[in-house]
Structure 1
Amino acid sequence: MQKAAISRRRNWAKWLQTTSLNLSMQSFKSVEKYTLGMGDRFARQGKAQLAAIAQARTMGIGVTPVWNKSNREHSLVGTEPASVLAEAEAAVAALEWAGGFHVDADHIHLQTVDRFIAPSDFFTLDVADYVGQRATEESIEGFIQENWHLRGRVFIPGLDEPLAIDEQLLRATAEKFLWAMEEAGRIYRYIAERKERNRFITEVSVDETDRPQTPAELLLILAMIAREGIPVQTIAPKFTGRFNKGVDYVGDLAQFEKEFDEDLYVVAFAIREFGLPETLKLSVHSGSDKFSLYPIIRRLIRQHDAGLHVKTAGTTWLEELIGLAESGGEGLTLAAEIYARAMTRFEELVKPYAPVVDIDPARLPIPGEVARWSSAQFVGALRHVPSCPEYNPHFRQFLHVSFKIAAEFGEAYTAALATNEAIIARNVTGNLFSRHILPLFS
């Protein structure tokens, strides 16, 4: 076993020495151990979000904020990526924040990356759409030959059983994932040609695929990423179960724990085996409100002494709605009007998010009924407290994907946010700090 491991390392080292993509010769920006992706649809809650991070720092919890917003979200709201950097810088100045922060170009492709290059220093390369597209035969054969030394039983410290990798698995994994990782390489090099390598962080996302990757597949995917010369800092695999927007995890907790644990061992092994950055860590997408998973994740990252990136996004927008509803009067009326208009465009709003929501239209309240709700009823239905009798996960998921409607209210919506800033900020900060940061990182 020891001889086999030495042989693999020697073979890989030899390949690195002969390739122009030697990762050890590249400089790159290192990511902090714990990072939290914070979305803000309307760029109004930067200070409230950062306040949660600052509060954690006073308790010795070191989490670095990463403001993120995807191209789709910018398009729906009518904003530009530069607005995310402006929001982050304004929050940092207002709170006199001395720690680091990042701005994430979330889920970008070659066709959308240009507008993000200048203001961003964190790039999530989303190549899930390319999974299943076949690379050239020459490339597939090259990958198989370069990783021939992985055939057999790969002993990864910590795993109960060695990974069984044969030629069939090498080929099948290359046929499914290699083109996607080559596309990640093309995006990475495009950014690197326009931005110094030591000025940005790279994440590769393969979470929106048809099924979870096995440990052996994840190992080979990381080999593909190394082959492309990408100094990947975070990897977002697909885990078992449903990671729906804004609600808790649905699935087998024991199976998730097993997969997360195995993936942590594979990442640590790949760092040594392929010369990937030592700061490489797992990323959990649609990670907000996965309350049943947080104790598992917290325990495992401590056990492995591993880093973690968790993306929370639309929950900030939901906390804005909760704050408006709590304020009563015009704020409550506006929240109900947003819902009523959204219901007339149900299919349009839900379709882009279909893989990450489970909404039963029959479980959604009638708009006329919602218009008569009190503040307590609206907040009870929307706030993620499953023990509350009024809580409605279908209502919450639907409003999660309906932020486009609020954007169409224009100044009426942003003015309401300004009028009710204090109550909204309290909700935004409290949600991030008490319900996300503490259970994950404390």
Structure 2
Amino acid sequence: MKRQVLDPYSIGMGDRFAHQAKAQLQACILASHHGVAIVPVWNKSNREHTIIGSDPTATRAAADAAVKALHWDKPYFCDADHITLQTVDRFLTPCDFYTIDVADEIGKPASAADTEDFAKRHADLLGTVSLKGVDETFEVTQDLLRNTASKFLSAVKKAGEVYRKIAQAKGADNFIPEVSMDETDSAQTPVELLIILAAIADEQIPIQTIAPKFSGRFNKGVDYVGNVEQFEREIALDFAAIAYAIEHFRLPVNLKPSIHSGSDKFSIYPAIHATMKRFNAGVHLKTAGTTWLEELIGLAEADGDGLALAKEVYAEAYGHREELCAPYASVIDIDPAKLPSPVEVNGWTSLQYTMALRHNPSESQYNSSFRQLLHVGFKVAAKMGTRYLDLLESNEAVVARNVTENLYKRHIAPVFLGQQSS
């Protein structure tokens, strides 16, 4: 088997209930009709599997079935999202893309010996560092080199442990490795990213994507909150740092940034597209649970039993909002005062429900707090079991249409084709 290689453009897609793989793949097919090849990557974390009570084999089965049904003859992958050494085992057979998450290890001081060895090995980083494609230069002192290495080496070594466990089970050429540094408190500087990439090369992890942290808020399922110009500066520096690392640290030539967007970061999508074009490089855009929200929108549009269930999901989520929000506290901003009461929602029409939920910031009835609560409320639908899944299947056409349109028009088109989202 030849080495698995991730093409320049790829999109990570969440599918909470493993029912929308065909609709998601259809969005990639639409992109191919416009001359743009997008590699679909179905991602689902251990946390999501645990909440729902699902297994990674279901994600793989759904992806394989969609590929067969739609005659997709291009690459596709299943991502063990935000995996750790403790949770990787159940993903070893069904997955071929691994997002290795070491954020919890960042800041744990490396040993003095490891730090000193790294500083000696990478003394060429000392002095003025220039990155192609950006005007800024960076001064790297001995103290900066050592302090930064001490901050990140433990995390990279942990990534190496996870990588080697996967490689031993699957073979080093049979999966795509990604290292995730995004779920931490502060954005990495270009110098920090260079040092991280040097350490990853030292660990002999042939990463094909890396997920850095950016400034601003990347809340689940809603738009970016922050300075878009600052984001564009940061992503340009990341592209430049990655290009430097490919040249100097002998990392894979197709290494690219992975943007863990939490979905729907419409305001920064033009910046991502422009920066990709500027550097003639690719990107992995990872979406999250908006497919689950499109399921709810589709059910509400279907009216009748579908709308009734969508209202019931909200009522249950509203009643258990503290429990549901706790695991996602760092990536949601819900204003309780803006949450309508279940009694009010129960009186809504299909159109009122969908206008409040669908992410259209120009719509006066759009409610980001309502949307974010339902985003983390998928556990409610999971507890409904076959009642929820049966309604998805009986309303497949309207649900699938919403899933495909959302993924293609609001994500793929603006990021990869440069078209304004709608």
| TM-score, normalising length: structure 1 | 0.93
What corresponds to 2:41 in structure 1?
A: 66
Cα offset for 1:286? 2.4
Inter-partner Cα distance in structure 2 for 1:187 and 1:28 = 19
What corresponds to 1:164 in structure 2?
A: 139
Cα offset for 1:59? 1.3
For structure 1, which runs of at least 5 residues remain unmatched after alignment? 1-26
Q: 2:158 aligns with which of 183, 199, 204?
A: 183
Q: In the alignment, is the contact (CA less than 8 A) between 1:211 and 1:240 conserved in 2?
A: yes
Q: Residue by residue, what CA displacement relative to the aligned partner does 1:137-179 show, whole Å, maximum 9, x if unpaired?
A: 2211111111122111112222212221111111221221110
Q: Does 1:217 align with 2:192?
A: yes
Q: In the alignment, is the contact (CA less than 8 A) between 2:111 and 2:150 conserved in 1?
A: no
CA-based RMSD: 1.0
Q: Does 1:364 align with 2:339?
A: yes
SS in 2 for 1:417: helix
What corresponds to 1:327 in structure 2?
A: 302
Cα offset for 1:361? 1.2
Inter-partner Cα distance in structure 2 for 1:355 and 1:175 = 26
What corresponds to 2:420 in structure 1?
A: none
Q: In the alignment, is the contact (CA less than 8 A) between 1:38 and 1:65 conserved in 2?
A: yes
Q: Residue by residue, what CA displacement relative to the aligned partner does 1:110-144 show, whole Å, maximum 9, x if unpaired?
A: 00001001111100000001111122222111111
Q: In the alignment, is the contact (CA less than 8 A) between 1:36 and 1:65 conserved in 2?
A: yes
Residues 28 and 222 of structure 1, relative CA distance in 2, 3 Å threshold: farther
Q: Residue by residue, what CA displacement relative to the aligned partner does 1:327-366 show, whole Å, maximum 9, x if unpaired?
A: 1111111011111111121111111111111111111111
What corresponds to 1:300 in structure 2?
A: 275
Inter-partner Cα distance in structure 2 for 1:223 and 1:209 = 20
Q: In the alignment, is the contact (CA less than 8 A) between 1:28 and 1:201 conserved in 2?
A: no
Q: Which amino acid in the other structure matches residue 423 of structure 1? A: V
What corresponds to 2:181 in structure 1?
A: 206
Q: 2:406 aligns with which of 393, 412, 431?
A: 431
Q: In the alignment, is the contact (CA less than 8 A) between 2:261 and 2:286 conserved in 1?
A: yes
Q: Residue by residue, what CA displacement relative to the aligned partner does 1:288-333 show, whole Å, maximum 9, x if unpaired?
A: 2111111111111011110100011200000000001111111111
Q: Residue by residue, what CA displacement relative to the aligned partner does 1:350-405 show, whole Å, maximum 9, x if unpaired?
A: 11111111111111111111111100110000000011111001111111111011
Inter-partner Cα distance in structure 2 for 1:29 and 1:327 = 41
Inter-partner Cα distance in structure 2 for 1:157 and 1:333 = 56
Q: Which amino acid in the other structure matches residue 174 of structure 1? A: A
Q: Percent identical across equivalent pairs?
A: 56
What corresponds to 1:93 in structure 2?
A: 68
Q: Residue by residue, what CA displacement relative to the aligned partner does 1:235-269 show, whole Å, maximum 9, x if unpaired?
A: 10011111111011110011001111111111001
Inter-partner Cα distance in structure 2 for 1:184 and 1:83 = 26
Aligned length: 416
Q: Which amino acid in the other structure matches residue 49 of structure 1? A: Q
Q: Does 1:38 align with 2:13?
A: yes
Q: Which amino acid in the other structure matches residue 386 of structure 1? A: P
Q: In the alignment, is the contact (CA less than 8 A) between 1:29 and 1:197 conserved in 2?
A: no
Residues 297 and 287 of structure 1, relative CA distance in 2, 3 Å threshold: farther
What corresponds to 2:203 in structure 1?
A: 228
Q: In the alignment, is the contact (CA less than 8 A) between 2:299 and 2:310 conserved in 1?
A: yes
Q: Which amino acid in the other structure matches residue 384 of structure 1? A: H
Inter-partner Cα distance in structure 2 for 1:134 and 1:325 = 51
Inter-partner Cα distance in structure 2 for 1:346 and 1:318 = 16
SS in 2 for 1:219: helix
Q: In the alignment, is the contact (CA less than 8 A) between 1:261 and 1:300 conserved in 2?
A: yes
Q: Residue by residue, what CA displacement relative to the aligned partner does 1:197-229 show, whole Å, maximum 9, x if unpaired?
A: 111000000001111111111111101111110
Inter-partner Cα distance in structure 2 for 1:142 and 1:84 = 42
Q: Does 1:119 align with 2:125?
A: no
Inter-partner Cα distance in structure 1 for 2:268 and 2:133 = 21
What corresponds to 2:125 in structure 1?
A: 150
Cα offset for 1:287? 4.6
Q: Which amino acid in the other structure matches residue 218 of structure 1? A: L
Inter-partner Cα distance in structure 2 for 1:157 and 1:37 = 28
Inter-partner Cα distance in structure 2 for 1:168 and 1:132 = 16
Q: Which residues in structure 2 correspond to 1:238-257 (within 5 Å)?
A: 238-257=213-232
SS in 2 for 1:320: helix
Q: 2:293 aligns with which of 318, 323, 326?
A: 318
Q: In the alignment, is the contact (CA less than 8 A) between 1:338 and 1:405 conserved in 2?
A: yes
What corresponds to 2:378 in structure 1?
A: 403
Inter-partner Cα distance in structure 1 for 2:4 and 2:141 = 35
Inter-partner Cα distance in structure 1 for 2:150 and 2:133 = 29
Q: Which amino acid in the other structure matches residue 219 of structure 1? A: L
